[in-house]
Structure 1
Amino acid sequence: MTRQRRRHIIHRRRTATGLALVAGISFVAGMTDAVGLLLSGDFVSFMTGNTTRAALSFADGDYGHALILFFALWVFILGNALGIVLAHTLSARRAFVVLSAVAILLAGASAVPPEWNRLQFYLVVLSMGMINATVEHIEGLPIGLTYVTGALSRFGRGIGRWLVGDRNPRGWLIQCIPWTGMAGGAVTGAFLTHYAGSHALWVVSVATLMLAFATALLPRSLQLHFQQPIVPARRRAL
């Protein structure tokens, strides 16, 4: 086997593994999004929607709801930042660490009493921000896990490029994976909440933890490959 052929096989296996991981994480994110929306009445990962709803609430004079949603934006941002910190400081098995932390947050959210429903909402939002740190790209192609608007946009632009003669589907066909995973997870989460009510978060937490243990079987080098490297600041010349 030639070196080029071997590299091609490794590349294909790495891509397939990454896409399977993206599908699984997006499925869990979709479940969480549906459960969180049904329990709280607000989005837990769709921050574009929360921004618009916050603006409408503000215009209608419902300043309390507007502030709740604006604060959720910052909680989501904090979750993304915290996910990156955990991924790059605790272990080389980054997906396992982040998904385990997400599972713990969801378990904590499910244990929150009903009268503290906003705390539950913010814990779920924080977990959805964190989960984006598990996979940031597949072979250099950006991947969104809790937001599929960008994926659909890249997919649509890929169709446009194909119509004008670009026959390289590599950059846009894989964008169907996160949308499919999230859609399937959202349907599952909706049915789950219908039958289990607030206990649905426990199920999502267990599913996330199972996915975390599945990622623990992946080689460390592969988990490192799915994230953007940290580029340290250059030292000033003396």
Structure 2
Amino acid sequence: MQHHHRSEIAMAAALSSAAGFVDAVGFIHLGGYFVSFMSGNSTRAGAALAGGDGHGFLLAFGLVGAFLLGVITASVLRRLAASRKRLTVLLYVTAALTAAVVLFDLGLGGWLAPAVIALAMGAENVIFERDGEVSIGLTYMTGTLVKMGQQMAAALTGGRRLGWVRYLALWLSLTCGSIVGAFTYHAWSLNALWAAIGVLVVVMVLNSKIRVAATA
């Protein structure tokens, strides 16, 4: 993350806020299951199995599977795209979220809409990739907090004074997005996702402008 330009960090922060927004919407809609936090779903699956809740177990692992499918398909798209790999994945994520909302509005959502949302969140994590590895995780913050703590320790022992700020910005973005998402869900239900889709569209426009400026 330290090797990314400031414009990319700003883009990542916007995408993390959208991810937090979507995860809060999904969490409330599913009654305590996640569409982007798969560690939580894995724990929920174990707890559900121990408690004899077969439906909860299948729901948790279904979301994990959908998330993984999103990562796989988005990674394949990146490899197939001759150019504009980041834009290709952004379009894929936006299309998936839009499909989930449309399914919900048509009354065809059921279990399918949450699965498509989880797929979109898995795909979003492939947006920032270098050398075949995710360089900025957008939908999960455990690793980000660990790195922030390491950078704080480095600052206290003579290292870079502000190396931790980027990680803080990413965590705050997801947290604030989740707060807004929770309030918005109570007003609009899954139609709240249109707000996250709007953020993705803005990011796509900015990404195109950054790319044009870089090649000018």
Q: Which band: TM-score by shorter chain?
A: 0.7 to 0.9
Task: Report the counterpart of residue 167 of structure 1 in structure 2.
Answer: 159
Q: Could you say what the CA RMSD is over the residues aligned between the two structures, in angstroms? A: 2.6
Task: Report the counterpart of residue 144 of structure 1 in structure 2.
Answer: 137
Query: Cα 1:18–1:222, aligned 2, differ >3 Å: closer, same or farther?
Result: farther
Task: Report the counterpart of residue 180 of structure 2 in structure 1.
Answer: 188
Task: Report the counterpart of residue 131 of structure 1 in structure 2.
Answer: 124
Equivalent in 16, 23, 34 of residue 43 of structure 1: 34
Task: Report the counterpart of residue 203 of structure 2 in structure 1.
Answer: 211
- Secondary structure at the counterpart of residue 167 of structure 1: coil
Cα shift readout 1:76-131 (whole Å, capped 9, x = no counterpart): 11211211221231242122211111111111101124563211110000000000
- Identify unmatched segments of 5+ residues in structure 1: 1-10, 224-238
Structure 1 residue 121 corresponds to structure 2 residue 114: yes
Query: Cα 1:57–1:115, aligned 2, differ >3 Å: closer, same or farther?
Result: farther
Cα shift readout 1:128-154 (whole Å, capped 9, x = no counterpart): 0000111136xx994210001110011
Instruction: Supply the distance in 1 between the matched residues of 2:75 and 2:134 (Cα, whole angstroms).
Output: 18
Task: Report the counterpart of residue 6 of structure 1 in structure 2.
Answer: none
Structure 1 residue 26 corresponds to structure 2 residue 16: yes
The 4+ residue runs of structure 1 with deviation greater than 6 A are 220-223
Task: Report the counterpart of residue 200 of structure 1 in structure 2.
Answer: 192
Distance apart, 1:60 and its partner CA:
0.2
Query: Cα 1:28–1:222, aligned 2, differ >3 Å: closer, same or farther?
Result: farther
Pair member with larger Rg: 1
Q: Please report the TM-score for the alignment, with normalisation by the length of structure 1.
A: 0.78
Query: Cα 1:220–1:49, aligned 2, differ >3 Å: closer, same or farther?
Result: farther
Asked if the contact 2:125/2:136 (under 8 Å) is kept, the reply is no
Instruction: Supply the distance in 2 between the matched residues of 1:159 and 1:191 (Cα, whole angstroms).
Output: 32
- Secondary structure at the counterpart of residue 216 of structure 1: helix
Structure 1 residue 108 corresponds to structure 2 residue 123: no
Structure 1 residue 60 corresponds to structure 2 residue 65: no
Query: Cα 1:178–1:136, aligned 2, differ >3 Å: closer, same or farther?
Result: farther
Quick check: 186-195 or 45-54, which moved more?
186-195
Instruction: Supply the distance in 2 between the matched residues of 1:118 and 1:161 (Cα, whole angstroms).
Output: 46
Distance apart, 1:57 and its partner CA:
0.2
- Identify unmatched segments of 5+ residues in structure 2: none
Asked if the contact 1:23/1:177 (under 8 Å) is kept, the reply is yes
Instruction: Supply the distance in 1 between the matched residues of 2:72 and 2:101 (Cα, whole angstroms).
Output: 23
